Amino acid sequence: MQFFKSLVVVAVVVVMGMAKVADASRGENRGNYNRMSPQK
């Protein structure tokens, strides 16, 4: 059970991190993001 709780915590942290990166990409860092991803 303890392992499952740790797994849930890790999953939440990863999702929060991904959401933060997405916000930064479409926010003030959009210029840098577009320069790094020319295919978009």
Give me the pLDDT at residue 13, please.
95
Q: For the chain, first and last CA: distance in Å?
A: 43
pLDDT tens figures, 1-40: 899 999 999 999 999 998 887 776 666 555 555 555 555 4
Give me the pLDDT at residue 40, please.
47
d(CA 29, CA 40): 15
Give me the pLDDT at residue 21, please.
79
Give me the pLDDT at residue 9, please.
96
